[in-house]
Amino acid sequence: MSELVFAQGYTLTQLFVFLFVAWGITTFFYWRTFTTLTLRRFATLLLLRYISIAAIVFLLFRPMLQYTKEQVQRKSIVFAVDTSASMGISDGADVAVNQDGQVQVQIRVDQVKGKIKTWSAKLEKDFLLHLLEFSDQAVKLPELALAPTLKAEGTSTSLSAGINAANSIMDGKKKIPAKEIEALFLFSDGQNNTARNPVSDAQKLGIPVYSIGVGTGLKSSSSFKDVQASDIRVPERLTYNNKARITAGIDAVGLEGRTVKIILEEDTTYAAEPARGKKTETPEINETVQPPNSATVNHRRKIGEQELMLDAIEGQQDVVFEFKPEKVGRTLYIVRTEPLGDEAIRENNERQTAALVVEPGMRVFYLEGTLRPEYGAISQRYLAKDPDIEFCAMVQIKPNIFEQQTNIEGFKLKGLPNDQEIIDSFDVFIIGDIDSSYFKTEIQEMFVKRIRSGAGLIMLGGYHSLGPGGYGGTPIGKVLPVIVGNREIGQFSEEFLPKLTPDGVTSNIFANISGFFPSTLNTESQAGLPLLAGCTRIQTSNPAATIFATCPAVRVPAPGGGEMEMPVLAAQPVDQGRTVVFTADTTRRWQQGPRAMNEDTPFMQFWGQLIRYVAGREGMVVREAGVSASVDKAYYEPEETVTISATVKNTDGEGTEKASVSGTIIRSDGKQDEVKLEIVQGTPGKYTGIYEPKTIGQQEIKVTAKIDGLVLNALEKMIIDVGRPNMEFDRLDLNEELMTKIADISGGRYSHITTADFLIDQLNRDITKRKVIEQIPLAPPFSFWAIFVVLLTVEWVLRRRYHLR
């Protein structure tokens, strides 16, 4: 049944009314205007105008012939085939006869291809059939006839990729909704080795998943013999030159009583040169975009070897290696077993993962007994602005009540540190104007123990520190580089500028800032640096001390006899650590005065270089803009997210919140991705961003920051590994438990491929019929516009011939 309809809800009556009114008005004006024409010529022009008006009216009303027809709709079935490398394994029991009549052992993916061929012949009449292949990613094949071309070559298995791809099946340019998909047949051995959860994805899919298990339990076969490196446990970050432990897991079947050699190797292809006071060359960043692994050179070095007797107990045997990392940077660690002659699979004899070897972190604990201006200068104008330092600063605001300031996430002290674990978590201690009576002897001994194991201590001058604070003869006082004297030793209250000794001039503490101070080599200093407001007196220095600066106006006994200028800044080694005494307490003047006058100041560099010196990380603090970057680790499972961190400094060398920071990821396929890094609130200069790798393999990350018109590139060459070689051979047994969970939670069923034919008989084959409204336009716009133009042209030509306007 058909009917005439119009656009915008117009009716046939309205069309005729509109048309006759327009014709009537046209007839009236033509009759008044063209009275001199003969009746024939008048009728010709009027007819042309009538037809032109009709064309315009039809274009406006857009009449259509509408009718209803019945359409048969078939539901879709999706075949998702796992084409990862483990599907290229032969389980030994599955055979097929080829065209020549020869018996051949089938690999897993060939079993799937045979099953799809059989099923498609039974299903193609009632269903629309679609084919997907997946490993780390899913790809839709344009037609089912391509199923025989499938190859098991994928480097990892993401069951989630195969499941989620069913929701993106296209029928031409139209996406097929989930309600029109009868079932998803998921063919796999179930060895999911990516980070996503396929059970959760199956639950959200909205399509029944029929899981088809492919393969067998190889370990249950009496003839199967294999040894594999099943695990390698390495901390995500290792500390340079500190003892590290790597545990290798070795699993074997059918080889009990045999001895196998286990070897641990490292590949430092992308590691930096040894740090700790040695100048390093920063690797140049390639200008051309290429996959990182395309230029990788194997630099393996054996760092451990052990022999292991294989047992018959189910589960892996652990082999522990201990060593000290010798290079800073990304390092690949490989554990491998020497192959045995009769083992079935050699691709799983090696397991590797990457770790970041880093410099030990630098944490500073700063303690003051009074809220003096120097506390604010050090804690807020230096520690809080040095993005390379984590710190906790505490100041006493009421008797035995301390206020804490820190940039260490989740760190909270209720009082002074009183256990060894907390004290050991810091690398530098700054003790200000606080009396020794606040520290019990056993607490002081904890501090000294940490110093002897490698930490540093700086004691500042003050009315309640050094001698006046009663530190003489205490555990802390005994490791200081000076003899502090008794409580009555007093203060030197005149203004002065520290005078550098020859050791001070050449020390990293005063690198690039020695010109601000007078020295024994040069009595002049750079103008403008404010004088310090006195200092705490000391008795003398220890013989083992190195004196960097003195107070010229005060003389004290020298350790070897005679007199010398009183030390203001001195240091000495204490086993593996260092202690420093700085008897002044008004360096805030160096920060406030010059900054107010827009003049240069050594404040940031002095404190930065002093703290790094006492921590054993000697190096210059450069006051210039820069960016450094890092990732949270070096190895990631497929589909695991990467955290990229950056530290950005402005032209004063301070952490800044005003930078625009981004990361460029050069993928293993040569393509690039971009990620924006956002500021970490409360930590100036710290930025972070999250990236989910799109490909398996090595990826290079470059970080760029824009600040105050400057474009800054991080020098660090960051290489990460996503997935690892031969990860498909870690586990080869069919994982029926996982495949069953996927089927159950989605409303489908699980079956092994050898017994799965019954599943297609349970499908709903009812054909859906629906009514579809079809419309045929009776006034095609292009044709009617063409008619309208032609009619007007003919009328214009006739009017010119009739000598009319």
Strand-pairing partners, residue 170, are 175
* Environment class of 579 (CB within 10 Å of its CB; exposed 0-12, middle 13-18, buried 19+): buried
What pLDDT is attached to residue 283? 33
Q: How far is CA 47 from CA 27, 52, 174, 440, 688, in A?
A: 10, 9, 47, 116, 77
What pLDDT is attached to residue 595? 57
What pLDDT is attached to residue 524? 63
What pLDDT is attached to residue 598? 53
DSSP state of 521: S
Average confidence (pLDDT) over 684-701: 88
- 724 and 353 Cβ atoms separated by less than 8 Å: yes
| Order of all β-strands in the sheet with 76-82 | 138-141, 128-134, 76-82, 181-188, 209-213, 750-752
What 3-state DSSP class applies to 417?
coil
What pLDDT is attached to residue 284? 33
Query: pLDDT, tens digit, for every residue of 465-475?
Result: 999 999 999 99
Highest mean pLDDT among 157-171, 218-232, 460-474: 460-474
- 593 and 527 Cβ atoms separated by less than 8 Å: no
- 551 and 581 Cβ atoms separated by less than 8 Å: no
What pLDDT is attached to residue 372? 92
pLDDT band at 2 (very low <50, low <70, confident <90, very high): confident
Strand-pairing partners, residue 12, are none
Highest mean pLDDT among 571-575, 622-626, 731-735: 571-575
What pLDDT is attached to residue 655? 82
Average confidence (pLDDT) over 788-801: 86
Phi, psi of 220, rounded to the nearest 5 degrees:
-80, -10
Residues 6+ apart with CB under 8 A from 582: 458, 459, 460, 461, 568, 569, 610
Tokens (6 digits) for 143: 């037609």
Asked if residue 511 has pLDDT above 90, the reply is: no
Token pair 């930078």 in the structure block, residue? 659
Asked if residue 239 has pLDDT above 70, the reply is: yes
- 431 and 404 Cβ atoms separated by less than 8 Å: no
Q: Is the pTM of this model over 0.75?
A: no
Asked if residue 636 has pLDDT above 80, the reply is: yes
Average confidence (pLDDT) over 148-171: 89
Asked if residue 393 has pLDDT above 60, the reply is: yes
Asked if residue 280 has pLDDT above 60, the reply is: no
Phi, psi of 582, rounded to the nearest 5 degrees:
-125, 105
Average confidence (pLDDT) over 78-93: 86
Q: Residue 573: how many CB atoms within 10 A of its CB?
A: 14
DSSP-assigned states of every residue in 48-75: HHHHHHHHHHHHHH--EEEEEEEEEE--
Asked if residue 220 has pLDDT above 80, the reply is: no
Token pair 């000598």 in the structure block, residue? 803
Distance CA 368, CA 652 (A): 27
Higher-pLDDT residue of 409 and 245 is: 245
Higher-pLDDT residue of 200 and 14 is: 200
Kindly report the average pLDDT of the chain as a whole number. 85
Query: pLDDT, tens digit, for every residue of 116-133?
Result: 999 999 998 889 999 999
- Give ∠ CA 648-604-715 in degrees, rounded to 5: 30
Strand-pairing partners, residue 299, are none
Packed helices 373-381 and 588-596: angle between N→C axes, nearest 10 degrees? 70
Comparing CA positions, the residue from 257, 214, 262, 255 lying closest to residue 345 is 255
Asked if residue 278 has pLDDT above 70, the reply is: no
What pLDDT is attached to residue 16? 86
Torsion over CA: 2, 8, 10, 16 (sign): negative
Q: How far is CA 563 from CA 430, 550, 558, 580, in A?
A: 29, 13, 5, 21
What pLDDT is attached to residue 13? 86
Single-letter code of the amino acid located at 331: T
What pLDDT is attached to residue 662? 94
- 642 and 693 Cβ atoms separated by less than 8 Å: yes
Comparing CA positions, the residue from 627, 724, 719 lying closest to residue 667 is 719
Q: How far is CA 48 from CA 17, 40, 44, 789, 790, in A?
A: 20, 13, 6, 11, 10
DSSP-assigned states of every residue in 445-475: HHHHHHHHTT-EEEEE--TTSTTTTT-TTSH
* Environment class of 421 (CB within 10 Å of its CB; exposed 0-12, middle 13-18, buried 19+): exposed
What pLDDT is attached to residue 286? 33
Average confidence (pLDDT) over 427-431: 95
Distance CA 423, CA 445 (A): 11
What pLDDT is attached to residue 55? 85
Asked if residue 296 has pLDDT above 60, the reply is: no
Distance CA 256, CA 75 (A): 54
Asked if residue 723 has pLDDT above 90, the reply is: no
Query: pLDDT, tens digit, for every residue of 537-585?
Result: 999 999 989 999 999 999 999 988 889 999 999 999 999 999 999 999 8
Average confidence (pLDDT) over 330-337: 89
Average confidence (pLDDT) over 487-516: 91
pLDDT band at 705 (very low <50, low <70, confident <90, very high): very high
Q: Would you state the torsion angle of the CA atoms of residues 738, 739, 740, 745, taken in this order, to the nearest 10 degrees?
A: 90
Average confidence (pLDDT) over 765-774: 63
Distance CA 249, CA 262 (A): 10
